[in-house]
Every structure is written in C-alpha cells, then in structure tokens.
Amino acid sequence: MGYAIGTMAMTVPAARAWEVLRDFGNLLEWMPSIEGATLSTSGEGVGMVRTLSLPGLGAGDEQLEANDDDHMVQVFKISPGGPFGASRYQGRISVRPSGENGCKVLWEGFFDVPDGIDETEVSTQLAGAYGFMLGGLKEHLGG
C-alpha cells in the first residue's frame, strides 16, 4: 500500500482550522484558485459525496467516511479510482494543536497502485498536491 503526506504549520488555533476543514463541501472556498474548477455535493454528513472537477484532470467523487470533531480528523475515500493513477485511495486530514495559538495540519493518503504505475511517483505527486492545498488553507486562515 502506498502512502503520501503533506504537513503545514499554521499560526491559528487548531479549532479555527478544524472549523473550516470539517465542512466537507467547502473545499473550493479555501483551496487555491484553479480556473474552471467546480464542486458539487450530494447528501449531508458522513456518507455525503463531493464531486470535484479540475480542468485537464476530469471529475472525481470523494465520499466522507468520518468527521471526528473530538480528535479533529476527517477521513474520505475515492473509489474505484484515485488521483494520479492510484486506486482504492483513502485520505485523512487531521489538525493538531501546536503551541499556544498554533496548529499543524496533516493530509495523508493511503492507496494502491495498479501494475505499471510507479508508487513513488504517485506519492510524490500527492505530497505536492497536499502542500498546494494546505498552502491555500493557510492563506485563507491568515496564518
């Protein structure tokens, strides 16, 4: 199983970062702007699906599997496919307090790769995407 991680330290309270991240349907509100990107949702809470469409990459469905407010952890899956050629992708975003008014946000991905796909390359691309997205979150939060 492949693994990728992106982390971002922020100078905002963990609860503030979690308040934004826990809303599974608001991704485009904090993600760096990508011209032509669209997002739609179906359902509410655990089990809801967001469909993200990115120019040149197509659309993908992501289903919310867990939103743990006590531990500030969100888990979602993309199936049957996944980003950058991965399959059976599961993402996990967590927020951890850091210092008095800071936090660290971790975005992890767990995935399989079909024959002919380089697992290391998928990990590298995912880590880059996580850094890009978390940078947008940091800018959105001002921290």
pLDDT tens string for the chain (143 positions)? 899 999 999 999 999 999 999 999 999 999 988 888 899 999 999 999 999 888 877 778 999 999 999 999 999 998 777 777 788 899 999 999 998 899 999 999 999 998 888 999 999 999 999 999 999 999 999 98
| Look-up of token digits 């927020």 | 95
Quote the pTM value.
0.91
- Which of the listed CATH numbers 1.10.260.40, 3.30.300.30, 3.30.530.20, 3.40.50.2300 matches domain 2-141? 3.30.530.20
